Amino acid sequence: MGEAFQSFLAEFRAFDAILGIGGGGGTSIVTRGMRTLPIGLPKMMVSTLASGDVGPYVDVSDIVMMSSITDLAGLNSVSRMVLRNAAFAIVGMTAAPAPRDDGKASIGLTMFGVTTPCVTRVIEKLRDRYDCLVFHATGTGGRAMEKLADSDKLAGVIDVTTTEVCDHLLGGVLSAGPDRLGAIARRRLPYVGSVGALDMVNFWAPENFAAAISMLTIRR
């Protein structure tokens, strides 16, 4: 059902905003379709799951999650208030469109702690001519940049920090997945890449690190 809804939204774009209401199944179905929509188009999901880990539902999109408080089994005094607020919120987003940009082309840049001085200097040189969008290379940052690239929102990429590739290859926790750089290739964007933070892989707890060391030893 999620795949079907995703396909439906891809073909039917005659709307200015989208509001979803659902429990576990509904949230999964509706947000899968929402994630394929362009960044900037208002998206709101009223869900019984909104107070937990919403990462799998939001991913790198700009979906607004609102907790339904009570289960969505008919109307009651609480659900009426929540749904009313959701309705006014989505209408407000739609009625007040984003202001026009200044006409500058957008450049995507990737940054991590060790590459911050470099990226900062690059931004200082470019900000007068380009809208500089900086993405934290923590997995979600790289995927967010790729999503904007696939949406034709970027004129080029200065990929100073490619550390997410290391995490993907070596079992780190900040991988951007196997399609990192895919959107850049598909869109044939002007690209400057570097080796920022390629000398590190990110892990959480010590047991995760020990498992990765074992894997590296086996590969060698």
Confidence of residue 20 (pLDDT cuts 50, 70, 90): very high
**Mean of pLDDT values over 85-103:** 86
Asked if the model's pLDDT at residue 219 lies above 70, the reply is: no
What global pTM score does this model have? 0.74
Q: Which domains does the chain have, with CATH numbers?
A: 2-95 (3.40.50.12020), 105-219 (3.40.50.12030)
Distance CA 188, CA 186 (A): 6
Task: State pLDDT tens for residues 52-65.
Answer: 889 999 998 999 99
Task: State pLDDT tens for residues 158-216.
Answer: 999 999 999 999 989 999 999 999 999 999 999 999 999 999 998 877 665 666 666 66
Collapsing DSSP to helix, strand or coil, 105 comes out as strand
**Mean of pLDDT values over 104-125:** 95
Task: State pLDDT tens for residues 164-175.
Answer: 999 999 989 999
Can you give the pLDDT at residue 203? 84
What's the Cα-to-Cα distance from 40 to each of 112, 146, 177, rounded to whole Å? 25, 16, 24
Can you give the pLDDT at residue 70? 92
